[in-house]
Each structure stands twice: as structure tokens, then as C-alpha cells.
Chains A and B, each alone.
Chain A
């Protein structure tokens, strides 16, 4: 199975600053990569699919890039509601697999 590794485990950033989250796949997933945001007590929310396409209703400050094995989620100017846990997921091969998550916290 494809192993997804996210870094860092925790990222401390001040509101208004840029956050960059990384996700690495153990083998190529092409562009079959999604990003999710999860807040405590809530279901995950799809942010990005196809590595770089924003899902419906997702603000433009969220952007995704990469292909193959290296991917990045960038949040250009952090708002208070963006502090949460972020997961990447590959859906190229069965089983689909998630990264372990990056917790984005307020600095």
C-alpha cells in the first residue's frame, strides 16, 4: 500500500501569515491527491482534489500543488477559522490511504 507522510506534525503560525504543509507519497500517485481540513468534533471537509483543484466553496487562500510523490497545501493568509488538523489522501490505488495529519496551531 502507498504510505502518505505529512510534515510537520505540528505547525505554529500567526494569523495573517502563510502556512505551507507538505505531503509525500511512497510511490507516485500522479495527481490523485486530496486535502482535508478537520476541526474538533466535526467530519473532515474536502479542500483540494486532483492535487490542485479547490472544492466547491473553498476560499482562494487555499491552494494545492505538486504531482507524483511531493505535494504542498498553502494557506496564503491564515484566518482564525483555519486552525485545525489537515490530512492528505491518495486515491490512485487501493487501498486509499491518508497521511497522519498536520495540526496547524496559533503561534
Chain B
């Protein structure tokens, strides 16, 4: 069965970086893209970007340009999200999602807390 399993919760100080992983299994990894979506406490869903697991092409939300990097490792079928220069308003649950038409499988979410 298709599964996306994310890394555990993180607590970071302002200005630091965080790297979240998303281990995919149960499907052909390179046949789908991976999108990253975040959700601040009590808020809605915010699209962060997308990466092709086939060739590594990316598309990022403009507001995150320069701070966000998405990568994949096809040998371990894992996608990664790295976000730098963290601020308090980056505190959120971060989700990865398999992408085709819509996002049909989601990871369980990773809580990233940014606090001094």
C-alpha cells in the first residue's frame, strides 16, 4: 500500500534551518511528483512547492523563494524539504503529498516549532 512517512517533530531557534524527510513506499517513486503543504496552528493549507521525483524539477511558492529547497533521493525513495532563516511564523505542521491530479496520499505531518 502507498505510504508516505515523515520525520519527527522539530524545535528550532529563529534564523536556523530545518530539514524534513518524507519516505515513500508502495508505488513507483519516480512516476509521481511530491508537493509540500504547510498548516499554521488553527489556519488553512498553504502550498509550498512541488518537486518531480523523475527529474528533480521544482516549483516553489514565491514567498519562500531563497529560503526553501526541495530534493529527492531516488535510491531511498525519500523526498526532503529544507527551510532556512526560520521565523516564528514558520511554525506549522508540514505535509508531503503524492501529486498527480490532486494530492492522493499524504504524510502524517511534521510539526516544526520555531521559538527562541
Contacts and interface: CB of A to CB of B under 8 A. Distances in A.
Q: Do A and B bind each other?
A: yes
Contacts of A98: 37, 44-47
A44 B46 contact: no
Nearest to A33: B102
B11 interface: no
Interface residues of A, number: 25
B103 interface: yes
A59 interface: no
Interface in A50-107: 50, 53, 55-56, 87, 89, 91, 94-101
Interface in A22-54: 32, 34, 36, 38, 43-46, 48-50, 53
A43 B106 contact: yes
Contacts of A38: 45
A34 B95 contact: no
A1 to B, nearest CB: 8
Contacts of A89: 45, 47, 102-103
B47 A44 contact: no
Contacts of B106: 43-45
- Describe B's contact surface by its main secondary structure: strand
A87 B102 contact: no
A14 B88 CA distance: 39
A43 B107 contact: yes
- Central interface residue in A43, A56, A97, A98, by most chain B CB within 10 Å: A43
Nearest to A56: B104
Contact of A95 (B59, B97, B101): B59
Contacts of B108: 43
Interface string B92-110: 0001010001111011110
B78 interface: no
Nearest to A48: B102
Interface of A: 32, 34, 36, 38, 43-46, 48-50, 53, 55-56, 87, 89, 91, 94-101
Interface of B: 35, 37, 44-47, 49-50, 59, 61-62, 95, 97, 101-104, 106-109
